[in-house]
Amino acid sequence: MRTDGSNQQRRRPGRQRVALVGLGRVGTACARSLEAARDLTLEAIVRRPEQLSAPLPRGIPRSVRCCEAGELADVDVALVCVPRERVLDVATQILSRGVAVVESGEFHGLAFQQHRDAIHREATRHHRPAVVGAGWDPGMLSLLQGWFALLVPKGHTNARPRAAVSLHHTTAARDVPGVRDALCAELHGSGGSEKRYVYVELEPGAEPERVSAALRADPLFLGEETVVLPVESVARLEEEGHGIVLERWGEAGGAAHQRLLFEARFDPVAITAEVMLAAARAVPALPPGAHGLQDLAASDLFGAQSAASKEARP
């Protein structure tokens, strides 16, 4: 792997050296968050051979070196920001290089457990830790629900998401000919069925009917009710953000009628990036194997920030 003297000057003593795999929305958000981090340094970006010389997104220092996965070395942890179907293969390759991994693949239920087991085998084999599901969902949402259940042990929790953005389906929609940009949201009906709303910003001259037909024919959208809505600007639409209302009712300490409420509106991509950085801070304290966010100590997630706050206490 080629080195870059200017990048060596950027590194500060005591900082964790981070590699980034994938420069989609989550990867780019991670890169920008790393620039503001005091305890993490973006050391390398892993790209495909044909993309090594391609320009980096705006806001990412040109001094950061680019390399292929097989050349990765001299880093402490890699943030894997690739589509869900590629996470396991990429994580396996990175772990084989002796580098710890943090990933935010959107797996749930049995699929998540199987994915975690597969990552655990590879991480144990190469004697490195890996953090799986380090995003909003799975990830922080599960932690919030767990804390609510801890505080009010007898009761039930209700999560009411606003129209949730599906990053995986959004990526697929952007690949359809005639689509300049896209945003896919999903709503869950009372019967458990899903309805997808795909907002598309069309290329000049693209026919809405033809684009709609191509989207509905995509295997990823088959079997789901899909509504395609052309819009002037997807970026403007995204500014409204993702939202959720999390409520828990029940009994705590013998007292009935306890109610906890969490309401938020946010960009899930930005949140995922911050969760991945927090998980990276916790990596040095972890033994080999796969770990979920619930396995990590809160103080480790804060890293140097937690240490600084302890020193400041009287």
At 89, list the tokens: 């293969």
In the numeric block, the tokens 């050296």 are attached to: 17
169 vs 99, 106, 172, 233, 284, CA distance in Å? 30, 11, 5, 18, 34
**What are the domain boundaries of the chain?**
5-133+269-312, 142-266
C-alpha–C-alpha distance, residues 250 and 260, integer Å: 9
* Mean pLDDT across 230-256: 81
**Bridge partners for 17 per DSSP:** 41
- pLDDT, tens only, 167-215: 667 788 888 999 999 888 776 554 556 678 888 999 999 999 999 999 8
Position 105, amino acid: G
- pLDDT, tens only, 131-172: 999 999 899 999 999 999 999 999 999 887 655 556 667 788
At 111, list the tokens: 């699929």
Omega before 287 cis (within 30°)?
Answer: no
Is 5-133+269-312 in CATH node 3.30.450.40? no
C-alpha–C-alpha distance, residues 64 and 31, integer Å: 10
Q: Are 65 and 13 in contact (CB under 8 A)?
A: no
Which fold would CATH assign to domain 142-266?
A: Dihydrodipicolinate Reductase; domain 2 (3.30.360)
Q: Are 289 and 124 in contact (CB under 8 A)?
A: yes
Answer yes or no: is pLDDT of 100 > 90.
yes
